[in-house]
Amino acid sequence: MPKRGRPRTSTKKMVSMRLDVEVGEELGKAKQAGKIRSREQFVNDVLREKVEALCPLIEDTP
């Protein structure tokens, strides 16, 4: 029987994250309104932006 689920070649890592209830609800509303593609994509985009902003600071640390 073949295995199900996402292929193992994925570039993603499963993580668990706790969000405030209000944040989760607002993200759901934004998704329903078509303002964001998905909650996952939005969180990835925001975190990527913040991590990129940190990179110069991390690289300058001795």
Question: Per the confidence metrics, is the pTM higher than 0.95?
Answer: no
Residue 2's pLDDT band (cuts 50, 70, 90): low
Q: Which amino acid is at 17?
A: M
In 3D, which of 15, 12, 42 has the Cα closest to residue 26? 42
pLDDT value, residue 21: 97
Domain regions of the chain by residue span: 37-62
pLDDT value, residue 57: 77
